[in-house]
Amino acid sequence: MKKNVFILMSSLLVVGTALAGCGEQASKPDAGDSQKSAEQTLRINMHSEPPTADPGLAEDSTSGAIARATFDGLTRLDKDAKPINSVATDVKVSDDLLTYTFTLRESKWSNGDPVTAHDFEYAWKRVLDPAFASNYAYQLFYVKNAEAYNQNKAKAEDIGVKALDDQTLQVTLENPTPFFLELTAFYTYYPVNKKVVEANKDWALEAATHVGNGPFKMDTWEHKNKIVLVKNDNYWDQEAVKLNRIEFAMIEDENTELSMFDAGELDWAGQPLGALPSDAIPALKDAGRLQTAPIAGTYMYKFNTEQPPFNNAKIRKAFTYALDRQTLVDNITQANETPALGFVPPSMALQTEGFFKDNDAATAKQLLAEGMKELGITKLPPISLSYNTSEKHKKIAEAIQDLWRTNLGVEVELLNKEWKVHIEDLHTGNYMIGRTTWTGDFNDPINFLEQFKEKAGGNNDTRWENAKYKELLNQSAKETDPEKRKKLMLEAETILMDEMPLIPIYYFTDVYVKNDNVKGVVMDPLGFVDFKWASME
């Protein structure tokens, strides 16, 4: 799941798409539009600086967007979120659906080195190396012995990925994985240049040393100010790339972002990388300027289940049931979001009616009392809610703070943190309740459920683990009957929603405004953004 600074990022049925070139005109072109179109420069905001530009470490929407622009995988998702050949020109799958043999095209790194199958083998084993500590290592656990190696139970040579020669990569899986070619389009599966990586451990943190194989290359990285990408003339499909330059601003204030757009200083404002001020959304909607795109994602809060009182499931459920989600989306987010009464979003829902009632204050009070009695306490310890800097997150947190005060009689301290600090604190357990989100990395519910499979999993900041839950997911991985597999995953989500290590709040809709001459930016149903085919017309 990728985390999004604002929304923070799927069953096989998800097919819908939203192309940025469609919809109402967002604003009148300013006087410089014709010149900007000729220059093929796109100016867009990303709310916060990416923590990394290394695809093996990327785990959030901003880092992922930079990785997707500057790297290319064996496959790439098209406008319908369907995998198409990219660095690979051909793939052959064995009759037992366990072995994939990829034939690679001749292509180059941005520094002119050849891209080979060895780069993919090296990159995947690097991500899986427990010493590398990639939080997304589990995305590769579909590969044979990948999980065992990551847990120090196998050797690197046991992993089911092998470069047979420079242009042939053979991959063996643990179990048949119908969405594997979608996975190979995800940034954790991208190659890296071994020579560059081993020469400089900080290669991905500066423009001067960053090397990729994607449609763009990094020209400038002024930290906490801007990133500039330029067309990569060494890219194998450079003729498809129309933009010469993408300029990413790093403006945290949503009002400033919208003002810059209205002043002609940005071509795009809002999601998936920026945010619009929630107060402006009704007027933008009424004026026909607002564009929306539902995506497979869940806005939520996580509990640190190792920290009292949230080591008690009844208390976690009390805080969950006490929320009035419909009022939140009607009066604060105001972008046609759907209240979340489960974890897996509607586009791939395992149970359409949800797992609990919204705004159930009576049950919440009862559960809080029962949970406190189980813990042997008569008073809750000081409780805090952490969120990353954003006016929207602040307003949501303040509304929820008030609901907990009203419905539970509980006072909660709000902690506003810079994005990089916030995400690090989640990973290290330096929080009690923390804002986060999850959007699908591929089109299957397992991508939502698997992050809570292991207590020490890279994205399981809750520290929650359940043996039955784990077993159900293991069984689903081996089940070839789609309906039986779905039933197993439903049982797992039922346990998750009974134990409640997280608070589902709402399911996402991306909202944004753009200049009408911006065409071809692909925003797929999972919330990914791809600038490869974008242009200024």
User: For each of the chain's 537 residues, which pLDDT tens digit applies?
Assistant: 444 443 333 332 222 222 222 322 233 334 444 444 458 999 999 988 999 999 999 988 899 999 999 999 999 998 878 899 999 999 999 999 999 999 999 999 999 999 999 999 999 999 999 999 999 999 999 999 999 999 999 999 999 999 999 999 999 999 999 889 999 999 999 999 999 999 999 999 999 999 999 999 999 999 999 999 999 999 999 999 999 999 999 999 999 999 999 999 999 999 999 999 988 999 999 999 999 888 889 999 999 999 999 999 999 999 999 999 999 999 998 888 999 999 999 888 999 899 999 999 999 999 999 999 999 999 999 999 999 998 889 999 999 999 999 999 999 999 999 988 999 999 999 999 999 998 887 778 998 999 999 998 778 999 999 999 999 999 998 888 889 999 999 999 999 999 999 999 999 888 999 999 999 999 877 778 999 999 999
The SS3 call for residue 5 is coil
Rounded CA-CA distance 306/254 in Å is 35
Rounded CA-CA distance 517/534 in Å is 10
Rounded CA-CA distance 179/476 in Å is 14
Task: Return the amino acid letter for 247.
Answer: E
Q: Give the count of beta carbons closer than 10 Å to the beta carbon of residue 170.
A: 16
**DSSP state, residue 118:** H
Cα torsion at 469, 507, 49, 230 (round to 10°)?
110
Q: What structural domains and CATH numbers belong to the chain?
A: 293-510 (3.10.105.10)
This prediction's pTM: 0.75
Question: What does the block give as tokens for 219?
Answer: 């020209």
Which of 68, 67, 78, 22 minimizes the C-alpha distance to 518?
22
Q: What pLDDT is stored for residue 487 in this prediction?
A: 97
Q: What pLDDT is stored for residue 336 in this prediction?
A: 83
Distances from the Cα of 518 to the Cαs of 40, 249, 380, 418, 438, in angstroms? 10, 17, 52, 30, 27
Whether 417 and 384 have beta carbons less than 8 Å apart is answered as: no
Q: What pLDDT is stored for residue 284 in this prediction?
A: 94
HSE toward the beta carbon, residue 15, CA cutoff 13 A: 1
Which of 102, 192, 189 minimizes the C-alpha distance to 142?
189
| Strand 433-439 relative to strand 383-388, pairing | parallel
Q: What pLDDT is stored for residue 280 in this prediction?
A: 92
**DSSP state, residue 312:** S
Whether 199 and 185 have beta carbons less than 8 Å apart is answered as: no
Which of 389, 253, 380 minimizes the C-alpha distance to 319?
380
Question: What does the block give as tokens for 236?
Answer: 């194998």
**Helical (H) or strand (E) element with 230:** strand 226-231
